[in-house]
């Protein structure tokens, strides 16, 4: 019996109907990503990378084809189920960090935990994760705007991991960071990969791409090589 791939796209298309004519963002795409893989999705601007990431991140659903995440066809899911999928199965790391400005660093990490468990973290998981990504207790009390870009991205990594997701999706995670800090974030992702997490990273930086196990190149909504 073969293992169920963590992500499986079969003949997936995403078409945006516009007044000026339909825009085909993904064109009959078929991709398979196995559990524990570290995959980089690369391609020029407008190639469909972000659209693909939105589909496999459960933020959007394909127009046609089959997209299975951990074996579940997301096209058949209600908005509520898709939201649950994002909460429990997927951890998202954004280029612009996307922390909640009203909450402290600690609360940002604890927020998805509370949504999932319906209670505050009493296990110390949030504090441990923040420690692991290099955010001390004092920094954890700060609001995102009081942290540097690198610190914010570390908090974002901790937030993405708090519900122990099966897939970690990273959208240009070093795009807003200097080379040194970007390198540190990539080291953290490599460490997470060693812990057998599935990591999918979208980047246009070849140096980042080289650190992945496999590169999927996208052009005009199609896979150049899988």
Question: What stretches of 43-152 adopt beta strand conformation (E)?
Answer: 64-69, 72-73, 90-93
Three-class DSSP category at 115: helix
Number of residues engaging another protein in binding (CB under 8 A): 28
Binding mask 155-174 for another protein (x = CB under 8 A): ----x---x-----------
**CB nearer to another protein: pick between 160 and 215:** 160
Counting Cα atoms < 13 Å in the Cβ hemisphere of 7 gives 28
Nearest-approach distance from CB 77 to another protein, in angstroms: 13
Q: Is 84 in the site for another protein (CB under 8 A)?
A: yes
Are 101 and 143 in contact by the 8 Å Cβ rule? The answer is yes
18 contacts another protein (rule: CB under 8 A): no
Could you give the CA distance from residue 62 to residue 144 in angstroms, rounded to a whole number? 33
| Stretch binding another protein (CB under 8 A), from 27-35, 103-111, 179-187, 216-224 | 103-111
Please tell me whether residue 176 binds another protein under the rule CB under 8 A: no
Report the residue from 64, 120, 123, 148 that binds another protein according to the rule CB under 8 A: 120
Sign of CA dihedral 131, 98, 190, 169: positive
111 belongs to the binding site for another protein (CB under 8 A):
yes
Which of 29, 47, 92, 147 is close enough to bind another protein by CB under 8 A? 92
Contacts of 157 (CB under 8 A, 6+ apart): 93, 133, 185, 188, 189
Residue keyed to tokens 């990503």:
33
Site for another protein contains 87 (CB under 8 A): yes
Q: Quick one: which of 66, 103, 214, 220 contacts another protein (CB under 8 A)?
A: 103
Q: By CB under 8 A, is residue 57 in contact with another protein?
A: yes
Q: Is 145 in the site for another protein (CB under 8 A)?
A: no
Rounded Cα distance, 117 and 126, in Å: 13
Q: How far apart are CA 23 and CA 17, in angstroms?
A: 6
Binding residues vs another protein (CB under 8 A): 54, 57, 59-60, 79-80, 83-84, 86-88, 92, 94, 98-103, 107, 111-112, 114-116, 120, 159, 163
């Amino acid at each position: 019996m073969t293992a169920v791939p963590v992500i499986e796209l079969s003949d997936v298309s995403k078409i945006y109907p516009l007044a000026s004519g339909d825009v085909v963002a993904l064109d009959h795409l078929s991709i398979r990503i196995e559990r524990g893989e570290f995959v980089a999705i690369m391609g020029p601007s407008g190639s469909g990378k972000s659209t693909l990431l939105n589909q496999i991140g459960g933020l959007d659903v394909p127009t046609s084809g089959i997209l299975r995440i951990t074996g579940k066809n997301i096209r058949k899911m209600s908005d509520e189920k898709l939201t649950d999928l994002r909460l429990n199965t997927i951890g998202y790391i954004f280029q612009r960090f996307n922390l909640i400005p009203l909450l402290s660093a600690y609360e940002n990490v604890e927020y998805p935990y509370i949504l999932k468990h319906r209670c505050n973290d009493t296990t110390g998981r949030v504090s441990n994760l923040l420690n692991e990504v290099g955010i001390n207790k004092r920094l954890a009390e700060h609001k995102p705007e009081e942290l540097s870009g690198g610190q914010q991205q570390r908090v974002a990594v901790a937030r993405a991991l708090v519900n122990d997701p099966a897939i970690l999706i990273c959208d240009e995670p070093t795009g807003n960071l200097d080379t040194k800090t970007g390198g540190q974030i990539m080291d953290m992702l490599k460490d997470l990969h060693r812990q057998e997490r599935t990591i999918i990273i979208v980047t246009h930086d070849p140096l980042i791409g080289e650190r992945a196990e496999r590169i999927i190149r996208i052009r005009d909504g199609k896979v150049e090589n899988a």
